[in-house]
Amino acid sequence: MCSNDEKVEQIMKMKAECPDNIAIQCFDKAYYDSLDSDEKKSGLLKCLDSGRENADSGMGCYANQPADYETYEPFFKAALESYHKVNLAEKSHSNNWDLKSAAGLPEDGQLDVTKLGLPALSMRVRTGRNLKKFPLPGAMSKEDRCNMEAAMQPVFAELIKNEAYGGKYVSITPEHANFINTEEYNELVKAHIMFKNMDDDSYLKSAGIASDWPHGRGCYISEDKGFIIWVGEEDHLRIMCMKKGTLINEVFERLKGAIDVVEKLIDGGCAMSDKFGVVTSCPTNIGTGMRASVHIALPGLTADGTDAKAKAVAKPLGLSVRGLGGEHTPIGADGTVDISPSARFCITEAEIVAALYNGVKLLKEEEDKCVKDPTDVAAEVGLENKAKPEATEGRRASKADVTAA
Ligand code: ARG
């Protein structure tokens, strides 16, 4: 445990060493000194614990109370503007799930991937929600975590009764009525249903978000396993819909329907900010909390066994590329990657799925070009001198490397 002064000293020292750590860069000593209580000073520093202890952080901070974004607005505003590349004096966030509101979609509103020359794909849309009544996960006590899980049980009971969802709730909280053992938990992780042990994530650990593992952690799973709610991960709730299919509308609309049901049933409601939209622990997710993705095979763009080329092509399209096992995981052995629009903030939910559809369309075009003439595309994206296929084959992920989504 460091004192506040020690933390400040360390942060100031890191400014020169960590140019890419947004929280460290956005920490303003004069603003910190202007805070009128020790409680507030400690509160701000706690938000930066993860970025201070993990120099390689990109974002480097998490909110600990739903109100932190407003309480420490000068800091978070700077961090949000830097990460999301927006000027909040000119742009503001709003939420809108109505696909008709998004520009650039096919006339009939159908986001049909077969129209892009693609087969049925694994599709997934998720969002995060936090219960207004509780601190965010970084500041929860063990009791808070268990109480939050308990507060969700009546909501899950309603979903289970509802024919459109059904299913069950499973918990890894010791002595919970729906407790599953380690073996069952590992099976669910392997099936990409349950989340991984958060203690293994050093960012979440430093933030206090992984604390008291596995207390207050569990997962609601619909009867058809296509709708899942994680409880007690980085946000109180991670709500997601997945399906192997051809119409992105299906997962998007099912998620919207479910959010409406769940938000209404939560006692006290979910944390929302007038200025920033959906409140999430991590500022990277604020606004919509939404990540919409498809799994797509890019054998051409990943022929060198790495995702470097796919990432270089995807970035200007506003798309992120990751492995099938979730954040920070390697690409699949067959060149299958997970593609999602990077933006979550100052964009609407409808615009995110539109960005996914149109982005995938352009990415597919690049992939097709690449299959025709791999050297041309490599040259276009400035990677012609990078990794030769033979030399990097070993860096591909094996199936066994891929765990929870
Ligand atoms: N805290 C980490 C960083 O700053 C991860 C941020 C984004 N990922 C997330 N799961 N919220 O690099």
Residue 19 has pLDDT above 90, yes or no: yes
Provide the CA 241 distance to its chain's centre, in angstroms: 14
Is 327 a pocket residue for ligand 1 (Cβ < 6 Å)?
A: yes
Is 234 a pocket residue for ligand 1 (Cβ < 6 Å)?
A: yes
CA distance 305 to 334: 9
pLDDT of residue 381: 59
| Residue 252 to residues 74, 123, 291, 318, 364, Cα–Cα distance (Å) | 34, 9, 11, 19, 21
pLDDT of residue 392: 34
Closest residue by Cα to atom 7, ligand 1, is 284
CA distance 6 to 49: 12
Q: Could you tell me the distance, in angstroms and rounded to a whole number, from the CA of residue 127 to the centre of ligand 1?
A: 15
pLDDT of residue 380: 57
CA distance 64 to 66: 7
Main-chain dihedrals φ then ψ at residue 108, nearest 5 degrees: -80, 0
CA distance 278 to 132: 11
Q: Could you tell me the distance, in angstroms and rounded to a whole number, from the CA of residue 105 to the centre of ligand 1?
A: 31
pLDDT of residue 65: 98
Q: What is the mean pLDDT of residues 351-372?
A: 93
Closest residue by Cα to atom 3, ligand 1, is 57
Number of neighbours of residue 378 by Cβ within 10 angstroms = 20
Residue 308 has pLDDT above 80, yes or no: yes
Q: Which amino acid is at 254?
A: R
Spatial contact of 279 and 336, defined as CB atoms under 8 Å apart: no
Report helix, strand or coil for 315.
Answer: helix
pLDDT of residue 327: 82
For 324-352, what is each residue's pLDDT tens digit?
Answer: 888 888 888 889 999 999 999 999 999 99
State which ligand 1 atom lies nearest to the alpha carbon of 58: 12
Ligand 1 binding pocket mutation candidate from 198, 203, 209 (most atoms within 8 A of CB): 203
Confidence band of 128 (pLDDT split at 50, 70, 90): very high
Confidence band of 390 (pLDDT split at 50, 70, 90): very low
For 88-114, what is each residue's pLDDT tens digit?
Answer: 999 999 999 999 999 999 999 999 999
State which ligand 1 atom lies nearest to the alpha carbon of 207: 1
Confidence band of 376 (pLDDT split at 50, 70, 90): low
Residue 141 has pLDDT above 70, yes or no: yes
Spatial contact of 134 and 236, defined as CB atoms under 8 Å apart: yes
pLDDT of residue 378: 56
CA distance 29 to 23: 12
Query: Domain 4-84 is classified in which CATH homologous superfamily?
Result: ATP:guanido phosphotransferase, N-terminal domain (1.10.135.10)
Average pLDDT, the chain: 92
The pTM of the whole model exceeds 0.85:
yes
Spatial contact of 97 and 256, defined as CB atoms under 8 Å apart: yes
Q: Could you tell me the distance, in angstroms and rounded to a whole number, from the CA of residue 290 to the centre of ligand 1?
A: 15
Residue 405 has pLDDT above 50, yes or no: no
State which ligand 1 atom lies nearest to the alpha carbon of 21: 4
Is 201 a pocket residue for ligand 1 (Cβ < 6 Å)?
A: no
Is 203 a pocket residue for ligand 1 (Cβ < 6 Å)?
A: yes
CA distance 397 to 378: 22
Q: Could you tell me the distance, in angstroms and rounded to a whole number, from the CA of residue 125 to the centre of ligand 1?
A: 19
Is 23 a pocket residue for ligand 1 (Cβ < 6 Å)?
A: no
pLDDT of residue 351: 97
Q: Pick from 278, 280, 275, 287: which is nearest to 347 by CA? A: 287
Q: Could you tell me the distance, in angstroms and rounded to a whole number, from the CA of residue 20 to the centre of ligand 1?
A: 13
Q: Pick from 219, 263, 256, 262: which is nearest to 241 by CA? A: 256
pLDDT of residue 399: 31
Domain boundaries, the chain: 4-84, 92-132+278-405
More confident residue, 230 or 403: 230
Region of residue 123 (phi > 0: left; psi between -120 and 50: alpha; otherwise: beta):
beta
Q: Could you tell me the distance, in angstroms and rounded to a whole number, from the CA of residue 5 to the centre of ligand 1?
A: 25
CA distance 105 to 354: 6
Report helix, strand or coil for 291.
Answer: strand
Buried b (16+ CB within 10 A) or exposed e, 229-252: bbbbbbbbbbbbbbbebbbbbbbb
